[in-house]
Amino acid sequence: MKKLLLFIGLLFFLSFQPVSASFGGGIYDDANAQPEGLGGTDSRCIGSTANEVSGVGFQVRAMREGEDNLGTIISNSYSVATYTGQSDYTVIMNLPYPPPDPANAWQCACNANPLDSYQCVYTNQDPDTSGSLNFFVKRANVQNNAWWQVFGGSVFSRYNIQSLIPVNFNNSPGYCNTTPGCLPALIGTDTADDIDSPGFAFTLNGTIYTHETGTSFIHDPDQRSNAIQGFAAGTNLPTEDYNFFAKKMLQDAVVLPSSQKPTPTSQPAIYSHAGNLTIGTASMARRMTLQERHPHVHRRFDRLHDRGAGGVLRDDRRLRPGREPLREDRHGRHRHD
């Protein structure tokens, strides 16, 4: 019984860790705000604090390994508590997406996530550092008619997926309503029009946005027999970097014993080397034979040799590309036509 009480007490202690520190600051409108110093998301942004921005619809978080803290926003001020005073926190401000007013949307003006302009990012931050950790935003008109779609595949994104399918915008017919052949969907069938060939939309930390009303236009109902408008959020996707493609290649690759030019094969070939590697022209260049360069000269040379004409070609000009084949006249002399 004592062990059980001790265990419950330990769980209670771990579940209610005391707050150690916090981040706080304001949200301001300044399109010219810049990170201080050498720049980068490790640097705090500096800008004008004259124009305060109401954080309605905004969200702030402070994260490090094993810890994810959601903050609070009142008017233009925010605060987010942390359990440690470590200096490796990532502090992010998520702006409203999809924007309620696309013609006047808020986007990050400083330290924007390069893959998501609706997310402002600070990395390697210390909550005990003095001064406010301010966020700076700007207005942007993101209302446009650009859209895209794929056929016979899936769509993957680490953040947001946006393609506003042009159908019934603002209670008026869109392009797909008035244009024959326009498919009102993000993903269509393959070139063979196979049923269920349209894939799905996958995102890790984003939103899938296919119409201004919030209606889903991922699929055309006539092109799938099941899982219509299916998608997956919070999906951890592989990073398609060097290691990703190297691993796929190694599944079928032939390992080369040296850096010499490989023998032609239907399989990919790979050579691995540790340390410095010198690649010389002698080992990599492909040497062409006389017959490969000038097949008509080589064939004619063989014929001359077989007929006892000596087979000696002393004039190098006869080997130039584009020259006509050598022929014998009635006196046994060689000439070009």
Taken in order 18, 25, 59, 236, the sign of the CA dihedral is negative
Q: Is 306 a residue whose pLDDT tops 70?
A: no
Q: Which of 24-28, 37-41, 248-252 has the highest mean pLDDT?
A: 24-28
The mean pLDDT of 43-49, rounded to a whole number, is: 97
Tokens of 94: 């998520």
CATH 2.60.40 in the chain is located at 20-140
State how far the Cα of 114 lies from the Cα of 40, in Å rounded to an integer: 11
pLDDT at res. 1: 56
State how far the Cα of 188 lies from the Cα of 190, in Å rounded to an integer: 7
Given CATH 2.60.40, say whether it is the number of domain 20-140: yes
For the stretch 72-92, pLDDT in tens is: 999 999 999 999 999 999 999
What are the φ/ψ torsions at residue 241 (nearest 5 degrees)?
-105, -165
Q: Where are the alpha helices (DSSP H) in the chain?
A: 2-15, 175-178, 242-250, 281-284, 290-293, 295-306
pLDDT-derived band at 48 (thresholds 50, 70, 90) equals very high
For the stretch 86-121, pLDDT in tens is: 999 999 999 999 898 988 999 999 999 988 999 999
Q: Is 68 a residue whose pLDDT tops 90?
A: yes
pLDDT at res. 135: 98
| Percent of the chain residues past pLDDT 90, beyond the cut | 48
For the stretch 224-236, pLDDT in tens is: 999 999 999 888 8
pLDDT at res. 290: 45
3-state secondary structure of 121: strand
Taken in order 97, 100, 104, 106, the sign of the CA dihedral is negative
Q: Is 310 a residue whose pLDDT tops 50?
A: no
Taken in order 165, 170, 175, 177, the sign of the CA dihedral is positive
pLDDT at res. 43: 96
DSSP labels for 96-117? Answer: PSS-SSGGGEEEESSSEETTEE
| Percent of the chain residues past pLDDT 70, beyond the cut | 75
Tokens of 62: 């402070």
**Higher pLDDT residue, 237 or 126?**
126
Q: Are 80 and 91 in contact (CB under 8 A)?
A: yes
